[in-house]
Amino acid sequence: MLGPRDSPLRIPDFRWLVGGVTVSALGSAMAPVALAFAVLDLGGTATQLGLVVAAFSAAEVVTILYGGVLGDRLPRQLLMQGSAAATCVSQAACATVLITGHGSILFLTLIGVLNGCLGALAQPASNSLTRFTVPEEQLGRAVVIRSLANQTSYAVGFAIAGIIVAVAGPGWAIAVDAASYALAAVFFSLIRVAAPARGERERLLSELADGAREVLRHTWLWLLIGQALLYHLCFGGVQGVIGPIVVGDTWGEQAWGWALASLMVGFVIGGLIALRWRPRFLLRWGVLLLSLTAAFPLAMALADRLPLVLLGAAVHGIGLQLFSVNWDLAIQENVAEDMLSRVYAFDLVGSFVCRPLGLAFTGPVIGLVGTDRWLVVVGAVMGLSSLAALAAPSVWRLPRRVSAVSTWPEGTRARPARRPRRRG
C-alpha cells in the first residue's frame, strides 16, 4: 500500500501539472458566471445567452479532434503552454473591453469562439499527460489528486465569482481568468516529460480513423460516450441558460455563484471519497452514482428554498465526480499510449458535440413548455439514462487493474511502461 512518502505530489512533473491545471481552473470557474451576466447586462435574452455559450462549445467540438492528433504527435506540455498563453491574451482583451464599457454580444460570441478553439487544442493532451508524469502504481491516486485539486479550485472560483460580478462587474472576473492562464503557462513550461514516441506520420484523417477504431474496440467506452452525449444535450442548457435565470431572478446573481460553488463542493467531497474508496469494478458503482446528477435540475424545478437547490447541486457533484474518477482511470489503464490523446479527443467530442445544440434550443423550449417542466424532464433523462447503461456487461464488469510495486530508484523521473491493449 502506498503511504504519504509515495504521494504522486513528490514527483516534480506531476506537481507542475497539477499546479497549472489548478490555477487556470480558479480563473476559468469565474468565466461562465461572468459571461452569463455580461450578456444579460447587455440586454441579452435567454436565447441570446444560449447562442453565445453555444458558440464557445461549437468551436471546441470543431477543433478538439485536431487537438487529439496534435497531442499524440507533439510534446503535450508545449501544447498546454501555448494554449494557456494565448488564452491569457484573449481573456485580457475581453476584460479590457467589458471594463471600459465597449462590450457587445457579438464581441463576446467571437471571443468565445477563439477561446473554445484554444482550449480544444490542448485539452486532449492535458487529459492524457497524467499517465506520463507518474509511475503506474501511483496512477490511480494521481488521477484522484488531479481531479480533486481541479474541482477544489473550481469551487473556490465559483464561490467568489458571484461576489466579484456583483461588486465589480463581469469584466474584472474575466481579468482574473486571464491572470490565471498566464501563471498556468509558466507552470506548464516547467514540465519535463518525453514527447510521444511516434512512427511515420499519417494524414490527419487516417490518424483520426485509428483513434476511432480504438474507441470502438471498447464497448464500455463508446457506450458511455454516447450516454454523455445525451447528458450534455440536456444539462448544458440547464447550467448555461436556465440556472443563471431561475436562480439569479429568485435569489440574486450571487446565489447562482453559490449554486455553482456547491456543485464544485460536491466534486471535492466525491474526490475525497475516491481517495479512500477503490471499488474492484471501475464503472459499476460510478455509473450508478452518476444517476444522482438528476438532483440538481430537479431541485431547481421543485425546491422553494435556496439551501435545497445548493444541496441538489452538491449531490450532483458527488455523483459526477465519483463516476469521472473511475472513468478517467479506465481510459488511462485500458487505452494504448500512442492513442491516448485521440481517445480523449473522441471522448470530449462525444461528450460535448450536442452541448451547443442543447444551449441553442433551451431558450425556445422553455418558452414553449415552461422552465419547471423542462427541468423535470432533464432530471428524468439524466437519471434514467445513467441507470440504463448498467445493462451492458462491459460496463458492469470492467475491473480495476492491480498495479505492481514500483521498481524505480528514488529521484528518477516517471516513465511508465507501455501497456498492452485490452478489449472492452
Torsion of CA 333, 152, 87, 74, to 10 degrees: -20
Return the number of other C-beta atoms located less than 10 Å from residue 10's C-beta: 14
* Continuous H helices in 42-104: 46-73, 76-99
CA distances to 200, 251, 395, 414, 424 from 39, rounded to whole Å, are 47, 19, 41, 45, 44
Domains of the chain, by residue range, sit at: 10-191+204-397
Backbone angles phi, psi at 384, to 5 degrees: -75, -35
> Helix %, strand %, coil % for the chain, to 5?
80, 0, 20
CA distance 249 to 252: 6
pLDDT in 10s for each residue of the chain, 424 residues: 444 456 888 899 999 999 999 988 887 777 877 888 888 888 877 777 777 877 777 787 778 888 888 887 788 888 899 999 999 999 999 999 989 888 788 888 888 888 888 888 888 888 888 888 888 888 888 888 888 888 788 778 877 777 888 888 888 888 988 999 999 999 999 998 876 665 556 677 778 788 888 888 889 999 998 888 888 888 878 877 888 888 877 887 778 878 887 887 888 898 889 888 888 888 888 899 999 999 999 998 888 889 999 999 999 999 998 998 888 888 888 888 778 888 888 888 877 777 777 777 788 888 888 888 899 999 999 889 888 888 889 888 888 875 433 333 333 344 443 333 333 3
Q: How far apart are CA 131 and CA 159, in angstroms?
A: 31
Cα angle 347-64-73, degrees, rounded to a multiple of 5? 95
Q: Which CATH architecture has domain 10-191+204-397?
A: Up-down Bundle (1.20)
